[in-house]
Structure 1
Amino acid sequence: MDQPTVGILHPGSMGAAVAACAATNANAVIWCTAGRSPASTARAGQFDLTPVSTLTELLDRSDIVISLCPPAAAEDLAHDVAGHHFRGVYVEANAINPERAQRIAGLLEPAAPVVDGGVVGSPPVGGKTPVLYLSGQTVATERIEALFAGTALQTKVLGTEVGKASALKLAYASFQKTSRVLVALAVGMAREHGVDQELIKVASRRTDSYLSEPQYVAKTAARAWRWGPELEEAADALAAAGLPSEMLRAAATTLARWHDVKDDSELTLADALDRLAQP
């Protein structure tokens, strides 16, 4: 099969790194500069992605389009793509609930086969090897497997049903991200009573516990702008399954207290806990 041209929507920290992996087996990887921030431009440049000026040009040139954006924007972006009558493979790789993934498939198929995707792990840079879980039509998922063959982004197909990959992603995220929020609350409570260092010593005896990694609270705060909406998606998926969603919605509300420290790499544990207590 000829090497495809791949379009990435939009090159955030995960999207740009995934696009760089795709470049290994692609003819070109392109992105649309319209409305994007200087940070997006810098990331795209770092990974040698090819800029185009309009979404129309990106869609006209692309055989495969990968959507990696904030969850709230996923359906609007898919509507835009459908409006341009895209005919390639559309990889819906956002952290959205299975019902939304299926709605997006309904928007684009049969003209554009939709592959449901979910990335579990950190961006594929610096030796990290996350897994892109896939579900959808066999011919389409095979194209995506071939696109990332031999790269730092591993792939695993879960079946032909759109929604399976999204369900796995959110099931994992609901535990992993909520656990980090609980660490912040536990350390915050302990600090209020002057026993936070003792709590950390207790937790250090259980190295399999997130509580033994309180330094990660600051990273959680910096990522809260992404994690909160993702947990809302997971809560919707729980509710759709008839399961209680209140715990994840509460975690999302907690994360919202850190909305003003987006991607702040200088944030300390003390700063994060102060903001959690006094937003």
Structure 2
Amino acid sequence: MAPTTPRAAVGIVSIGDMGLGIAKLLQAHGYEVLTTTVGRSPSTHARATSAGITVLPSDVALVEKADYILSIVPPRDAVQTANRIIDAWSAASSRAASTPLYFLDLNAIAPSTARSIDAALKSRAPSIRFVDGGIIGSPPKLLDESQSQPPPDNVDAELDASLSNWKRPSIPVSGPHPLSDATPSGPHLAAVLNIKHLNAEIGPASGLKASFAALTKGFYALALQSYTTAAQLGVLPELQAQLSAAFPATRAAADRGVVGMQHKAYRWEGEMREIGETFKTEGGWVGDGVIFDGIAEVYRTVAEETALGTPGGRKEGVEDVVDELVRGLRKGGA
């Protein structure tokens, strides 16, 4: 049961699908969730208010009231968002010095980008404690409450029972400021968000996220190229049949990725470029080994050359997605 007094105030920038899911998870476990929708669309504002999220009038108000701020934005906006928080911190006037603000960057960025954000914070807002992180998985979702456990007899068991009713992503983090040392409610917040602290360095958490996403979203891009090429040769059904016979799990993953990526492609373009930077800077891959700029181009094509990412343009079936992407490829090559 959520406490009457909030455990802590958690700001989320911004309230997209993932941000909204995390907000609901936090609210269910006693946290006040804050955001600001300055510069955002009316639909974003409506999404936040309808979920019971406190919408503050400015970034300054957010940093004055929040104990933690989670940055969950498209990769291309990660640095700008951090700079917004730094600027707001510099302008804030009513924050207690005894309660440091934790800034968790949970975006799909390269370790080098995370280190640049950390350097900016140390230079311009050294009181803010930076946490490098990433989100692996889909937004939190409440499962069937009818399958909840019997009432527990201690606090830890109560939390475990409550969390068992939620499907949650994994959130690896790294850096010198583990939430286990944070106040207020740092250890509890880490448990609720399914956070695992890897080590004291900035970079490993965002690098883990990049390495994981390369194998999932990178694969989906290969599936898009494979399926659209096979379709234009008239052999897509045969390709799918061969996959089903030899590698049924691969066929299922490809189909799921082709359909599921439509409204995410605009975000994934930037993420693929961050993965490319990760593999180059951290992994030593250079020259022709830098392949993720090409994979980013696949998602750029989906986002900019088709209507698949628009509210009325999303398709339900694999073949319909492929047909729309083929039209976009032909238009782009005309």
The TM-score with structure 2 as length reference comes to 0.76
Q: Is 1:274 matched up with 2:274?
A: no
Contact 1:17-1:47 within 8 A present in 2 as well: no
Q: Is 1:111 matched up with 2:111?
A: no
Q: Distance in 1 between matches of 2:112 and 2:45?
A: 32
Matches within 5 A, 1:41-190: 41-85=45-89, 87-109=100-122, 110-127=126-143, 128-140=167-179, 142-143=181-182, 144-149=186-191, 151=192, 153-190=193-230
Q: 1:46 to 1:71 in 2, by over 3 A?
A: same
Q: CA RMSD in A?
A: 2.2
Paired residue type of 1:248: F
1:67-117 Cα shifts (integer Å, max 9, x gaps): 111111111111121122274000011111001111111222331110111
The TM-score with structure 1 as length reference comes to 0.90
Local SS of the residue matching 1:30: strand
Q: Distance in 2 between matches of 1:117 and 1:204?
A: 36
Query: Can you give the 5+ residue segments of structure 2 that lack an aligned partner in the other structure?
Result: 1-5, 91-99, 144-166, 329-334
Larger Rg: 2
Paired residue type of 2:35: W
Query: Can you give the 5+ residue segments of structure 1 that lack an aligned partner in the other structure?
Result: none
Paired residue type of 1:133: P
Greater Cα offset, 101-110 or 137-146: 137-146
Q: 1:97 to 1:213 in 2, by over 3 A?
A: closer
Match of 2:36 among 29, 32, 35: 32
Paired residue type of 1:95: A
Q: 1:212 to 1:108 in 2, by over 3 A?
A: closer
Greater Cα offset, 17-26 or 108-117: 17-26
Q: Distance in 1 between matches of 2:267 and 2:239?
A: 28
1:235-272 Cα shifts (integer Å, max 9, x gaps): 01112132145321111101111114326473143342
Q: What is residue 262 of structure 1 aligned with on the other side?
A: 309
Contact 1:8-1:15 within 8 A present in 2 as well: yes
Q: 1:21 to 1:126 in 2, by over 3 A?
A: closer
- Alpha-carbon deviation of 1:276? 2.6
Identical positions, percent: 27
Q: What is residue 291 of structure 2 aligned with on the other side?
A: 247
Paired residue type of 1:82: I
Local SS of the residue matching 1:223: helix
Q: Distance in 2 between matches of 1:95 and 1:189?
A: 29
